Every structure is written in C-alpha cells, then in structure tokens.
Amino acid sequence: MRIRKAVIPAAGFGTRFLPFTKAVPKELIPVIDKPTIQYVVEEAVAAGIEDILIIVSTGKQAIQDHFNPVFDLEQRLEESGKIAELEAIRKISSLANLHYVYQRELLGLGHAVLQAKPFIGDEPFAILLGDTVTTSDNAPVTKQLCDAFDTVQSPVVAMETVPMEKVSRYGVIGGTEERPGLYRVHEFVEKPSPAEAPSNLVVASRYVFTPEIFDYLEKTPRGKGGEIQITDAMKMMLADYPMYGRRIDGRRHDIGNKLEFVKSTIEFALKRDDLRDDVKVFIKELIGE
C-alpha cells in the first residue's frame, strides 16, 4: 500500500536552542532562508505524501502562520514585480494538505504521535521529526524508507551509525543485516549507556509504521525521562510483528543542536549557487588562508 500520509511532531520545547526558542518554535530555526520544518514538509512531499498532520502545542502558532497564505504580501510582491519571491511564497501554502492537532500535555514523542491516530485511520504512514533536516545525493530519506516499506510491507525506521560514546542520545537498534542496508530488528533501546547498547546503529528521525503502532502506544507507560517513548512502543510491537531498519543513504542534520546548526548552515550555503563563492572567500579570510 502506498504511503499517503505523514505526521510531523513539532510540539516539544526547544530547550537545546535557548534563548532563541523562548518565543520562536525550534521548527522555525532557519537553514539559510527556509525554516527547518519547511525542508521537512518538502521531504515528505518528495516521497509522494499528500496529507501531513503537524503536531503542535501552545506557542507554536507561527508554524501555521508560515504555511498559511498571506494575501497582502502576495499582492505587494506582485505589484512590485518580485515574481521569484511571489512564487516562493505561493509554493509554501500549496505544498501539501496540512492539518494540525494540539498535544495538550507534553508527555513525550510517543504521546505526540498518538495524537495522530484519528487522522491516520487504517493505513501505513511516515513520521518525520520536525526539527531535523535530511539530505541525500540520491533519493530523499523518507522516499528511501517508503521504498523499503514497499519491499518488506512492515514498519521501517531510518538508521545511522554514530560513535559509541554518543549512543545515549538516541534510540539504539540491535539487528541483523538481511539485504545491503536493510536490517531485521530484534531489539530497540531508548537512550542506553554505551555499555547497555546493542550496537551503535541508531534511529535517525524518520519512521514508516503500520497503524498497529497506535495499539502499542496506547499501552506504553512512561519510560526514559518520565516520557512516553515511541521506542518503547516499537519494542513491544517487535514481539508481534517483524520490523526493519534502513541505513540511510544521506545525512541527518539535527538543527536543534547548536553545532549541527552552524555546520548545516555552512554546508547548505556551499551548495547554493548564489552564496557558494562569497562564503568560500569569507571562510578562507576568516581562517587566515
């Protein structure tokens, strides 16, 4: 079955990016001139997804404002002949069918995803974390997961390798490689110590699930950090259903992390024709070459 729907959790506080995120949602942190969540929506659309539910909370109104049309601005751009800007603005509000739901209590990622149950109904769907951009020289990462889902017809999570000392920041996977890059999962552990971790393969911010995940989320107790963790629901589901991990062909950019934000800004600037040369000159000057 084709994946037509996606969920973007965007309700959490951006405590790692304070003070900026005091008044602005972390999902609106820009990389060059586009907010993080717009890259995320574009990634979903590039995977063929048509309907997207964004999970928000109080203080996140600016996310909806970003995607809603602003007719006065469009008129002003049209009158002043700024056609490229006009097209860019119009494109934002016509990317996909966007829907919103409030997570009233911030009880964790698993609880956020549970808010999507009525929207998803009885079909497979993707989850893309709203504070993380991915890049790839080949197919977009969500498309890679959808293609893997087509093959195995079972839930698939994006995976990447991290240094062992960093595993405690992630959901960690124990699995067996069945085909190149595709692992049958036999263990999920949320944020273990390096000693407890089954490997250094971690869940990398994108998932494709079948709707059964909601049955498990409904019975998931609070776990790490007192939060309802999606990893704990995945662990329970593993007892009843096969699950897979797809090693992503590409890079994950966790924009809510300050160093990653700086690195991504430079990397994206060096990929843009309008910025590359000037940025290169500036960096060379800066490091005194």
Is residue 171 near ligand G1P by the rule CB under 6 A? yes
The C-alpha angle with vertex 203 and arms to 187 and 112, in degrees rounded to 5, equals 100
| Interacting residue with ligand G1P among 109, 128, 173, 213 (CB under 6 A) | 109
Is residue 103 near ligand G1P by the rule CB under 6 A? no
| Interacting residue with ligand G1P among 39, 67, 149, 170 (CB under 6 A) | 170
Sign (positive or negative) of CA dihedral 64, 66, 68, 73: positive
| Interacting residue with ligand G1P among 36, 205, 220, 264 (CB under 6 A) | 205
Q: How far is the CB of 16 from ligand G1P (least distance, A)?
A: 9
Closer by beta carbon to ligand G1P, 91 or else 166? 166
Q: What is 144-167 written as a DSSP string?
A: HHHHHHHHH-S-EEEEEE--GGGG
Closer by beta carbon to ligand G1P, 77 or else 145? 145
| Interacting residue with ligand G1P among 43, 160, 190, 232 (CB under 6 A) | 190
Least Cα distance to 98 among 57, 139, 35, 45 occurs for 45
Is residue 204 near ligand G1P by the rule CB under 6 A? yes
Contacts of 134 (CB under 8 A, 6+ apart): 43, 140, 141, 142, 158, 204, 205, 206, 248, 250, 251, 252, 253
Pairwise CA distance, residues 34 & 269, whole Å: 12
From residue 223 to residue 242, the character string flagging contacts with ligand G1P as x (rule: CB under 6 A) and all else as - is ------x-x-----------
Is residue 142 near ligand G1P by the rule CB under 6 A? no
Name the segment binding ligand G1P (CB under 6 A); options: 86-94, 146-154, 198-206, 266-274: 198-206
Q: Is 212 exposed, middle or buried (0-12, 13-18, 19+ CB in 10 A)?
A: middle
Q: Which residues bind ligand G1P (CB under 6 A)?
A: 109, 129, 170-171, 190, 202-205, 229, 231
